[in-house]
């Protein structure tokens, strides 16, 4: 029997087309015995609809495929959908979870929340946080939307701040996976993890809140990096906090931004029914910390299912990663004529989608406009390297041809 859970993904092959489909459970109402799902396929998104759970039936048997119909704008590639529901931060022997637990230890008296469903409303992710309509973080080229831009894959764990404050939950930690379109390299991946902390202190001045925030974050940084750590606060800007600060930690002589924070905006407090009260919030990434603590050289490792990676880590232990081997890389270039509106992120997504984790880095190596024809061209360099095996020329060229074919399908001309 399938036990349906929010945030989980089920993959099945449909009878009709033999194509694989991904079902994503958005909401389970156990009292009414009803389940809400979204259906994903690599080619299009189908309508979210309601089904009822029936014991001893598989998902395939319960879903009435006749009810599925074409639906809505969305810009979430399949490689991203595949990551939804992996819940790395809840796997106790996974480096991301080990770092999460270390942070949670520090915030012993805070309520802990982990919302497994990363699809949140645009309202909670942006509007309620006073993020303006023209903010770059809202761009389709930066953010994954679904359902005609009603839903979004949360771009930060701050997305849960106002719903909790409205419930008068005022001292909490939220951990979750967050999603942003990005470049491809050793420290950037479109899915990463954040921990959010909030503490409403009462009717106190900004000065008191800032002092409490800085004391707390200083304690956290020392808890994580040791008492001798070098770190500093830098003034920052976030629409949802004022004033705002970033914390930068010096590690092996390099300064690294580890978190953003600040005094929660007065309008947010008011909108959440907490007028007159004052508090702080912070948001911190887990991958960069884990890469440092475990000596993990490439962010893709976190998604590895290779036992040679996973078996090296144990709950509560901070041991150094022993690379099992570095496999050779292969470089391939693609030059193409682009049209207006082309964003480099679309190319990065396409490569990710068709190469899974076999590409280590993609970079723009050349870009020019022909002054006579006014046509523009870009050349991208793709560096293939698997973290688990040596790739054959055949495997690489197969992926390369698929990328080219997809570009041609999208009416781009390969040079
Ligand atoms: C935010 O996401 C804010 N929501 C943080 C915040 C919360 C501010 C509450 C004020 C109050 P930012 O985009 O800077 O801010 O990301 C916060 C942290 O997430 C960064 O400091 C970094 O540790 C991590 N992070 C951001 N982008 C990436 C990325 N592409 N890869 C890995 N880690 C990242
Ligand atoms: Mg930042």
Distance from the alpha carbon of residue 382 to the mean position of ligand 1, in angstroms: 27
Closest ligand to C-alpha of residue 285 is 1
User: Ligand 1: which of 191, 265, 282, 283 to mutate, judged by most atoms within 8 Å of the beta carbon?
Assistant: 283
Q: What CA–CA distance (Å, rounded) separates 218 from 257? A: 14
Strands 111-113 and 171-179: parallel
pTM reported for the whole predicted model:
0.78
Nearest CA to ligand 1 atom 33: 285
pLDDT along the chain (415 residues), means of 10: 52 46 60 58 41 46 41 66 90 98 98 93 95 93 80 95 97 97 84 98 98 98 95 98 96 89 98 97 96 92 93 96 89 92 85 87 93 93 92 94 88 88
Distance of CA 143 to the CA centre of its chain: 10
H-helix or E-strand spanning residue 364: strand 359-369
Residue 154: count of CB within 10 angstroms of its CB: 25
Q: What is the DSSP string of 291-341?
A: HHHHT---GGGGG---HHHHTT--TT--PPP-----PPPEEEEEEEEE-TT
Determine the pLDDT at residue 50: 47
Determine the pLDDT at residue 342: 85
User: Ligand 1: which of 126, 156, 255, 282 to mutate, judged by most atoms within 8 Å of the beta carbon?
Assistant: 156
Distance from the alpha carbon of residue 257 to the mean position of ligand 2, in angstroms: 7
Q: What CA–CA distance (Å, rounded) separates 384 from 329? A: 5
DSSP class of residue 8 equals -
Distance from the alpha carbon of residue 288 to the mean position of ligand 2, in angstroms: 13
Atom of ligand 1 nearest to the CA of 137: 13
Determine the pLDDT at residue 48: 43
Closest of 359, 329, 331, 340 to residue 411, by C-alpha? 340
Nearest CA to ligand 1 atom 25: 285
Distance from the alpha carbon of residue 374 to the mean position of ligand 1, in angstroms: 39
Q: What CA–CA distance (Å, rounded) separates 125 from 153? A: 9
Q: What CA–CA distance (Å, rounded) separates 288 from 135? A: 25
Distance from the alpha carbon of residue 317 to the mean position of ligand 1, in angstroms: 25
Number of H helices, E strands in the chain: 11, 18
Determine the pLDDT at residue 312: 97
CB 268 within 8 A of CB 162: yes
Atom of ligand 1 nearest to the CA of 264: 11
User: Ligand 1: which of 194, 224, 282, 287 to mutate, judged by most atoms within 8 Å of the beta carbon?
Assistant: 194
Taking CA atoms, 18 is separated from 2, 12, 41, in Å, by 21, 9, 11
Residue given tokens 């409205």 in the structure block? 166
Residue given tokens 């029914």 in the structure block? 273
CB 341 within 8 A of CB 369: no
Closest ligand to C-alpha of residue 248 is 1
Q: What CA–CA distance (Å, rounded) separates 166 from 110? A: 17
Distance of CA 277 to the CA centre of its chain: 31
273: left (phi over 0), alpha (psi -120 to 50) or beta: left
246: number of CA atoms within 13 Å, CB side?
12
Closest ligand to C-alpha of residue 187 is 1
Atom of ligand 1 nearest to the CA of 194: 19
Q: What CA–CA distance (Å, rounded) separates 287 from 187? A: 8
Residues enclosing ligand 1, CB less than 6 A? 156, 158, 182, 188, 192, 194, 196, 238, 241, 244, 257-262, 281-285, 287-288
Closest of 30, 25, 34 to residue 5, by C-alpha? 25
In this structure, what token pair is assigned to residue 171? 């001292």
Residue 8: count of CB within 10 angstroms of its CB: 19
DSSP class of residue 265 equals P
Closest of 381, 374, 382, 383 to residue 338, by C-alpha? 374
Distance from the alpha carbon of residue 112 to the mean position of ligand 2, in angstroms: 23
What three-state secondary structure class fits 102? helix
Determine the pLDDT at residue 147: 67
Q: Which residues does residue 364 pair with via DSSP β-bridges, in sequence order?
A: 380
Distance from the alpha carbon of residue 27 to the mean position of ligand 2, in angstroms: 31
Q: What CA–CA distance (Å, rounded) separates 135 from 287? A: 25
Q: Which residues does residue 257 pair with via DSSP β-bridges, in sequence order?
A: 248
Distance from the alpha carbon of residue 174 to the mean position of ligand 2, in angstroms: 18
Q: What is the DSSP string of 27-95?
A: EEETTTTEEEEEEE-SS-EEEEEEEE--TT--HHHH--GGG--B-------HHHHTTTT--GGG-TTSH
Closest ligand to C-alpha of residue 282 is 1
């Amino acid at each position: 029997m399938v036990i349906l859970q929010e945030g989980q993904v089920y993959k099945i092959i449909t009878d009709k087309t033999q194509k694989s489909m991904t079902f994503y459970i958005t909401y389970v109402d156990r009292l009414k015995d009803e389940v809400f799902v979204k259906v994903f396929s690599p080619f299009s998104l189908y309508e979210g609809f309601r089904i009822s759970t029936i014991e001893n039936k598989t998902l395939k048997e319960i879903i009435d495929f006749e009810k599925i119909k074409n639906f809505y704008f969305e810009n979430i590639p399949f490689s991203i959908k595949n990551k939804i529901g992996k819940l790395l931060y809840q796997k106790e022997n996974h480096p991301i979870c080990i770092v999460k637990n270390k942070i949670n230890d520090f915030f012993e008296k805070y309520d802990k929340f982990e919302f497994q469903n990363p699809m949140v409303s645009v309202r909670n992710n942006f509007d309620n946080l006073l993020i303006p309509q023209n903010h770059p973080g809202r761009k389709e080229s930066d953010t994954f939307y679904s359902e005609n831009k009603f839903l979004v894959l949360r771009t930060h764990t701050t997305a849960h701040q106002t719903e909790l404050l409205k419930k008068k939950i005022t001292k909490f930690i939220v951990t979750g996976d967050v999603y942003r379109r990005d470049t491809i390299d050793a420290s950037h991946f479109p899915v990463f993890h954040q921990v959010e902390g909030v503490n409403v202190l009462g009717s106190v001045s900004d000065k008191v809140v800032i002092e409490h925030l800085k004391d707390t974050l200083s304690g956290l940084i020392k808890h994580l990096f040791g008492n001798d750590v070098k770190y500093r606060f830098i003034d920052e800007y976030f629409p949802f906090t004022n004033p705002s600060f970033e914390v930068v930690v010096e590690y092996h002589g390099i300064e690294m931004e580890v978190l953003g924070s600040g005094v929660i905006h007065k309008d947010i407090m008011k909108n959440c029914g907490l007028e007159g009260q004052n508090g702080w919030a912070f948001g911190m990434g887990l991958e960069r910390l884990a890469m440092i603590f475990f000596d993990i050289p490439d962010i893709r490792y976190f998604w590895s299912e290779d036992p040679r990676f996973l078996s090296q880590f144990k709950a509560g232990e901070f041991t150094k990663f022993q690379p099992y081997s570095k496999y050779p890389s292969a470089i391939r270039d693609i030059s193409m004529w682009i049209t207006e509106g082309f964003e480099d992120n679309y190319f990065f997504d396409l490569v990710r989608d068709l190469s899974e984790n076999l590409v280590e880095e993609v970079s723009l190596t050349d870009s020019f406009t022909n002054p006579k024809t006014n046509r523009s061209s870009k050349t991208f360099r793709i560096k293939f390297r698997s973290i688990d095996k040596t790739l054959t020329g055949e495997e690489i060229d197969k992926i390369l041809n698929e990328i080219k074919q997809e570009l041609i399908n999208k009416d781009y001309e390969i040079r």
